[in-house]
Amino acid sequence: MQKITKAIIPVAGWGTRRLPITKIIEKSMLPVGNRPLVDYSVQELIAAGVTDIYMVISNVEPCQVREFYKDNIALNKYLEERGKTDRLALAKTLPDNVKIHYISQDPSAKYGTAVPVAMVAEEYNINEPVFVFFGDDFIWNPNGESAAESLLKSVQGEEESAILGVEVPREEVTKYGMIDVADGKLTKIVEKPALEAVTSNLVHVSKYIMSPKLIQEMVEYVNSHDFGPLDQEYMATDPLETFVKKGGIVRVAPTTGEYLDGGSLEGWVHANEVVCKKA
């Protein structure tokens, strides 16, 4: 199993599906149990060996994600003065050996899941395999294998990429990107297929290991197109399919955990029910 120490987590955007609450609370910071939504992915990636996290944030201030992962000196002093030192570990949200790098994305500029990957790759000259986890969903499997571990187990060398596959009921496939698989490898993604066109109940949930060549495909795709804001999103699945057609290997990693999505109100309520019940 290879070691991957870098991860990209896009958390920019207005979270318009969750208005009005996202007018004041960033979508990735909505609470699930006693932690913000994005922290489930952050802690999972850290446990898998990641030490450098590249978060793509909105260029608005204050940034709640940035504040959450900073040490709060005033809070720490308060806890110490009042003999609540047992709470200090809870207030420390990032280990000393892990660094979060922040890059701002203009919400009025290019938009879509491929854009933050390309931004980080160019800004930090990424030339090694990285995890790419989006910040508004996660796999809940506290007593089993994490999504990051499943992805790591699936790849065989630095030239291979991987995508997480999740099984959902057939009638729900229409809400996702349906995955076609052959010999454990991705062959095609069909975004939000019509129900009569559904041939698989396996979908992707935007959790990847991206090889350097796949990352470069993302960069070239974003830089070579000029979609207007009302034309088309820069979807990561487009260069992903191009990569596969060129012969790139993308393994499909299974998961035994439950997919929880905080991007919708119904999904967020369900995520809280699951986490609070089983925590």
Given a cut of 70, whether residue 278 has pLDDT beyond it is no
Which residues of 11-160 form beta strands (DSSP E)?
31-32, 35-36, 52-58, 99-105, 130-133, 137-140
User: What whole-number distance in Å separates Cα of residue 252 and Cα of residue 163?
Assistant: 5
pTM for this one?
A: 0.94
Q: What is the pLDDT of residues 168-186, one digit of tens each?
A: 888 888 988 899 999 999 9
Taking a C-beta distance cutoff of 8 angstroms, is the pair 202, 167 a contact? Answer: yes
pLDDT of residue 32: 97
Given a cut of 80, whether residue 29 has pLDDT beyond it is yes
Q: What is the pLDDT of residues 208-226, one digit of tens each?
A: 999 999 999 999 999 998 8
As a whole number, mean pLDDT of residues 136-145 equals 92
Q: Which CATH number fits domain 6-278: 3.60.21.10, 3.30.1330.60, 3.90.550.10, 2.60.40.10?
A: 3.90.550.10
| C-alpha closest to that of 191 among 236, 245, 139, 254 | 236
Kindly state the percentage of the chain with pLDDT values over 90.
74
Taking a C-beta distance cutoff of 8 angstroms, is the pair 236, 206 a contact? Answer: yes
Which residues of 33-98 form beta strands (DSSP E)?
35-36, 52-58
Every domain of the chain and the residues it spans: 6-278
pLDDT of residue 200: 86
**Helix 147-154 and helix 37-47, axial crossing angle in degrees, nearest 10:** 40
Quickly state the pLDDT bin for 279 (edges 50, 70, 90): low
Which tokens go with 110?
Answer: 């290019």
